[in-house]
Structure 1
Amino acid sequence: MSKESSTSPTLSTEKSTSFSSTKTTTLQETYDLLAKHLKEKLQNGTESDVSNSFTKLKKLLLCRKLFSSQLSKYKHMVQMANQKHHIFTIYGRGNLIRNTLLRRGWVEKLTTDRHQRLQHLSTEELLQQAADGNEYEVVLLSKIMKDVPAYFIWRRVGRIERRAGVYPYRNRVLRAPRLNFTTKIGLIGCTEQEMWYRKEGASNLSYPRFYRLGGIYAEHKSFIDDYRQTQCRSFMRYLWNNLMSAEVILNEREGTVPAKVVHFAVANIRKQVSMYENFTLEDEPKEDSNSIDFEWRRFIFSSNSIIFDKAKLRMAYQELSVYANEAKRCLHKLEYYKPDLKWDGCRNLWILKPGYRCRGNGVVVKKSLDDILQFASNHDTRRYIAQKYIERPHLIYKTKFDLRIYMLLIIGKEALSVWVYNDCYLRFSSQVFSMSNLKRSIHLTNNSVQKRFKNEKERDERLPRNNMWSLEQFKAYLRCHNMPDGIWEDKIFSGVCTNLSAIAMASLEDTVLTRNSFEVYGCDFMLDDNFNPILLEINANPDLSASTNVTASLCPRMMRDMMKVVVDVPEDYNASTGGFELISEFNFKWNNTKGSRPGLTIEGQTLPLCKPLPVSCVDEILISTADKKPERRQLSPVKFLVNRSSKVNLNDEKVFVTSGFMDGMKENSINFYPSTQSNLNSMSEFKLNV
């Protein structure tokens, strides 16, 4: 095809003749002029003129035949691509995606803004210049595909293109705002749903507690209560940490802060423990009186004067020791019920984030309750959330960092699969970590934030100048510090997978299950002192640019591997998936029976209650087992079926389900692929009778 197109005759000689119009652009127009000219020569011309006209007409007919042959070949290419569903459209740049598909033999259907200067040319004009792989050939093929649908669409905006009977691959998974985990508000909604689907070793979410400050009054009040209780714990933890150097915090005779501040803090910590140990369904006593508010304000002021202003307690050492040890025991009990309390420190810091923004825009760290509430009120249009700041993160050479992990969601014909990339990178702060300085350059590790600052001179020289480490560099750091073998695979990466499985399941209820939709997300994690991953946020449209040598290598490789999973695996189940690993799968199918509103019953063992459960109706649960394992991964899945409005909590072998009514119920089955160290040795199926 390329040889014929490159050596085909052109009309340049014809256009130079006296009978050819300078505006002639098609073979048909030229043919008509030649035929008319030949007719005139036959009537009035000499034999030589007639011979020349016949020669030119013969050349033109040969050219038309050759162009017709070329056009047939291009049409055949389009026909074959259409039969294989190998036609794609890319909005914007996306050159890596484009080249990846072209190497697989796909054909591009152009958008109106690509090769715009050539798209107005006629088919014959394009045929004259078309050569193997050049822009004329690309435009010509796209023009032939005018009425043919694209089967792969890549765009930056979540727009759905619909065509009857066609389900193109689309790089957007749509979901309702309530459970859209790519926003701060939606992520809170997912954490609220997650408790119903929790399964240790397979689906378990670890995240800092947070509140929607612009939400309903009850949540606003819950944040204030949490802040106050956190202040009690932070204050007693500060006293406990400084008990061995009592002169820093105590002066029995001249101290300016009375001992009743300690009594107040310990009494409230006792109440917190009692709430978890002896919780009832009765309404809690209301404490909104002005006198209670005044007591809290006085306590917060007095405790902060010791923590931040170096004021001293007027209290005997022996008495403080008794209270501090009691508080220590209570804190250990609370951390058993609420593991995230282990991340709290002594300063009661909170990080404020706008609900629908990314890249660190508008994020601040604050410690004063009044400042937090006032800041959120002044920026109410941004719908700020307050997230508990992790005051005890794992540091590398005294510097804060986080992990950027890539997650891929794919919605197939009857399943939503969750994949995680087994390579990642670390992002460091440019400044040494400090709890006394609340500057963004210290506490926000986003590359878009840190690139605005110069690295601090006092920062350890072993840290990267570009503030990024590859995973291999992090593993080398772990080895150098005598960390257990396999700590990345067995603890960190395994914990990441259980977190992301939990988020995907929690969001399933509001996910638009459009066949062949897929999306890549940038997921940010921190590590605590014991290397447990903590989910901070999930970003749509993650930055995949070559911002450093680390991302220049990782991001293109990840995108190419993404195309293997999205495009190759549906055609060949045994195809390579590159660095992506399948961690869970959610099977679904629609029950289109109309008018079914069945009554439901339940069998099972109830779970301990932390709050009243709005059980309007329940499902009967049948438990069975099967030994079949998935072919792709040597892992043992856990599978259960639920209808679309169900809430499910799995606790070892116990199942508790609550469900609402819904016309056209949707059943879902969820396969988890836990780590090989899990004690799940067979596939258990929990199926709802509806």
Structure 2
Amino acid sequence: MDSTTKSVPRRSKRPSNLNSQKIHRTPITSLIPKENEKINKNISTTLQNSRRMLVKQESSMNPYNKFEYPMIPYQMSLKFEDLMANPENLKPAACNPLLMTPTKNCFQYPMEPPISPEGDVQSAVIEVDRFVGTGERRRKLYYAVKTRVENAIKQHKVFLIRGDLPMLVRALEARGWLQKYESVKTRMLPYAGVMNLNSKSLGDIIQGDGSLNEKALVFALLRNTPPDFIWDCRNNFDEWDSSLEHNVLLNRFERSSIYTSKLGLARILEEAHWFHEENISSLHFPRSYNPAREANEFIEDFRRTAAVGLLKWFVIKNQEGLDTTEEKPTIPVSRLEFAVKICESYLADIEHENIDEMAMLENTEDEWNIFLEDYSNVIHKGFVISNTEEEAPAKLEKLYLLGSEILKKLKEFDPEYELNGLRNIWILKPSNLCCGTGISISHCIKDIYRQVDCKPKDYFSIQKYIERPLLIEETKFDIRLWYLVTSTLPLTIWLFEEALLRFSSKPYSVSTYHEAIHLCNTAIQQKYDYEKRRRRKRGNTDEIQESIRDQGWDCKMLNEYLKTRGFSGEPYYHIIYPKMSEAIVLTMLAAQEHMDRRRCSFELYGADFMVLDDLSVWLIEINTNPRMHPPSSRITQRLYNNVLESLVKVVMDSPLNSSSDTGGFQLVYKQSSLNFIPYLGPDLFVFGKRTVGREKEDENVNNSQTNICTAWRKPSRAWTAPIKSHNKN
């Protein structure tokens, strides 16, 4: 063998029956037609370099980068500046073992494992033809993507979404917008900070099969371009990037937690009565407290509600004709007399009859503790009133008549009379959390403060629980209604026409406080849907019961159900929906002074309501960044998509064409703009003659220049007068 000729080592061990055969190794370049000389040279170079091994090397400095291959440098170190300029400027590396396509100046591309000299010649030619087509397709895709990016930048149609909202992406892309992608490393940084990062993301621009990664290419081309529209889905949206341009659309208002947190909403609605206007803005909101800072007010309310609850129980038992003196554990009649005194004092306070009194009825802590214990025994443990005391029947009859009169007046004056119920149940919520996280329900004040004391101040908000809500098939539900605020001055509110009914998964009961019964949050109820699915997969179908959540209830079905309950007309559309609209308008009017005045901001909110048996509507809370993905049912999938599609119509289409379609959103309130005259300070003038401390001059002397003010003389006007000219006609 010639010394200049070197044999290529075999890639794998041959079968034993071929070891003795003589193999003629013909150079592979001689089998390829001569007109493909450039390809021959490239293949020869590839074969000579095929002995070199690719060593996988991990990057310890950057955990987000993929494994790097020193033999394929362009696949991991492709410069974005080169891409932005021209893909034809890329040059092959000196150690690059990749085949070059016949297409001149095309992209580099990765290759399958090198073909050994023992391989089939035809397979090598097929590989070359395949890469020729791949390079051409890649070339066309690059220029198509680059043209699309340039048009989006020129038209200011680049959007950024921090979250997962496929429907919003589709709606924007249908209007010619282009999405800007973020890497994991930049997703939590301020919006302008992404521009300054010199890092790769979203994998390699050139994929393993030789095609382009379109998302990575868009990421590279838009790396230095700020977005024109930003949607941030994060719940912990705290920072406000001061470098954000004023003309960038943003789906948030600054400091929205002031009126969307539980404590903030309760504080704002304390003065909501000033914004009440008939048929425009009205509100029912369960009373709420900060248990850490308003402990005295909450304890007083808790005790008074217990007294009213005991009196209600006693009157109801007598009206039903039930014996309240059964052979059960008893409490003395004095506890009922104590409750009557408390209710009388409360009623006098409401009617302002005790305005001249220095203090309300005072009771010791021991008296209250004894009363609350006996009240809990009656309501929650089945105790009754004792009639074995002296003159007990006469006292009970007198207390019944007096209690009935007191409750009749309380029902007239107290707007939360029906809401209170009998059991004095309160719901404890973390002020800044969502999805039902950390919520607990209790009727024991000691248990409540045991939880409050374990957390810092301003962590919890405590709210009176609605004990007698409207039920559908003995199941509790609430109503989620979406609304959109597109301007804070003048205040502009859009209300979505269809609401979402959220049901609990178990029948309603106040004997237990399980979250599956009392919390209608989708995140809570999904846990029990998953449990049902797991039992079904195991084949245990005996315990599976179809709940009302599986029946697909919507607003139309609720309206028909209320008709069967005896309500006339269209109860949902004529009573419930208008009241929800008025509550939202009043809430936003009360919060307007705290809202951001940024012109290019808007925000989508989710308001949660509950309905009582008399169809009174009660606002529970306002949620910023409401859940819009993923859907939990067919109903939510339809509503989520409709809300986002309609939102884009309002935000994008309506400003350009006032008569355009707004989808499911309706304009329910737009504040009238007033022409304010700015206050520029006092407009005060003093005219007269100045006095001097000298002898009186002769009257015949010409003194016409006494009050002349020029630039070279001291003005004769008062210092408080603004210096400006006045023309007299």
Q: Does the pair score TM above 0.5?
A: yes
Within the candidate set 365, 370, 378, 1:306 is matched to 378
User: Conserved in 1, the CA contact under 8 Å of 2:201 and 2:216?
Assistant: no
Between stretches 221-230 and 567-576, larger displacement belongs to: 567-576
CA shift for structure 1 position 316: 4.4
What corresponds to 2:232 in structure 1? Answer: 155
Within the candidate set 635, 658, 675, 1:573 is matched to 658
5+ long unaligned stretches in structure 2: 1-37, 50-71, 79-86, 95-101, 108-136, 188-198, 536-540, 684-729
Report SS of the residue matched to 1:16.
helix
Structure 1: distance between partners of 2:105 and 2:346: 98
Q: Number of residues paired by the alignment? A: 546
**In structure 2, do the counterparts of structure 1 residues 213 and 73 end up closer, same or farther at CA, with 3 Å as the change threshold?**
same
What corresponds to 1:501 in structure 2? Answer: 585
What corresponds to 1:89 in structure 2? Answer: 160
Report SS of the residue matched to 1:520.
strand
CA shift for structure 1 position 246: 5.3
Structure 1: distance between partners of 2:103 and 2:651: 53
CA RMSD, Structure 1 to Structure 2 (Å):
4.3
2:651 counterpart letter in structure 1: V
**In structure 2, do the counterparts of structure 1 residues 70 and 529 end up closer, same or farther at CA, with 3 Å as the change threshold?**
closer
Structure 2: distance between partners of 1:16 and 1:349: 82
What corresponds to 2:331 in structure 1? Answer: 257
Structure 2: distance between partners of 1:461 and 1:31: 66
TM-score, with structure 2 as normaliser = 0.65
What corresponds to 1:169 in structure 2? Answer: 249
What corresponds to 2:717 in structure 1? Answer: none
Structure 2: distance between partners of 1:553 and 1:514: 32
Within the candidate set 388, 398, 423, 2:498 is matched to 423
Q: Deviations over 1:554-591 (max 9, x none)?
A: 21221111111121112221121111122223467998
Structure 2 residue 636 is matched with structure 1 residue 551:
yes
Where do 1:164-313 residues align within 5 Å? 166-175=246-255, 177=257, 179-181=258-260, 183-215=261-293, 219-244=294-319, 248-250=323-325, 256-278=330-352, 284-285=358-359, 292-307=364-379, 308-313=381-386
**In structure 2, do the counterparts of structure 1 residues 407 and 116 end up closer, same or farther at CA, with 3 Å as the change threshold?**
farther
2:663 counterpart letter in structure 1: G
Within the candidate set 475, 494, 514, 1:399 is matched to 475
2:512 counterpart letter in structure 1: N
**In structure 2, do the counterparts of structure 1 residues 16 and 324 end up closer, same or farther at CA, with 3 Å as the change threshold?**
farther
1:320 counterpart letter in structure 2: L
Q: Deviations over 1:90-141 (max 9, x none)?
A: 224332222211111112333245995578759xx9xx967xxxx53x5555
What corresponds to 1:386 in structure 2? Answer: 462
CA shift for structure 1 position 320: 2.8
2:270 counterpart letter in structure 1: E
TM-score, with structure 1 as normaliser = 0.69
**In structure 2, do the counterparts of structure 1 residues 460 and 418 end up closer, same or farther at CA, with 3 Å as the change threshold?**
farther
What corresponds to 1:583 in structure 2? Answer: 668
Structure 2: distance between partners of 1:186 and 1:322: 45
What corresponds to 2:89 in structure 1? Answer: 28
Where do 1:17-56 residues align within 5 Å? 27-28=88-89
% same residue: 25
Structure 2 residue 554 is matched with structure 1 residue 470:
yes
1:205 counterpart letter in structure 2: L
CA shift for structure 1 position 311: 2.6
User: Conserved in 1, the CA contact under 8 Å of 2:281 and 2:583?
Assistant: yes
Structure 2: distance between partners of 1:257 and 1:492: 42
Within the candidate set 359, 365, 384, 2:435 is matched to 359
What corresponds to 1:634 in structure 2? Answer: none
Structure 2 residue 42 is matched with structure 1 residue 16:
yes
Report SS of the residue matched to 2:461.
strand
1:242 counterpart letter in structure 2: K
What corresponds to 2:711 in structure 1? Answer: none
1:28 counterpart letter in structure 2: N
CA shift for structure 1 position 331: 2.5
Bigger CA radius of gyration: 2
Q: Deviations over 1:594-630 (max 9, x none)?
A: 87599xxxxxxxxxxxxxxxxxxxxxxxxxxxxxxxx
Report SS of the residue matched to 1:491.
helix
User: Conserved in 2, the CA contact under 8 Å of 1:428 and 1:468?
Assistant: no
Report SS of the residue matched to 1:571.
coil
User: Conserved in 2, the CA contact under 8 Å of 1:430 and 1:467?
Assistant: no
Report SS of the residue matched to 1:365.
strand
Between stretches 367-376 and 94-103, larger displacement belongs to: 367-376
User: Conserved in 1, the CA contact under 8 Å of 2:345 and 2:361?
Assistant: no
CA shift for structure 1 position 399: 1.8
Report SS of the residue matched to 2:493.
strand
Structure 2: distance between partners of 1:547 and 1:345: 33
5+ long unaligned stretches in structure 1: 1-11, 34-54, 61-65, 599-690
Structure 1: distance between partners of 2:612 and 2:502: 16
Structure 2 residue 182 is matched with structure 1 residue 106:
no
CA shift for structure 1 position 206: 0.8
User: Conserved in 2, the CA contact under 8 Å of 1:351 and 1:363?
Assistant: yes
2:271 counterpart letter in structure 1: Q
CA shift for structure 1 position 372: 2.1
Structure 1: distance between partners of 2:611 and 2:178: 45
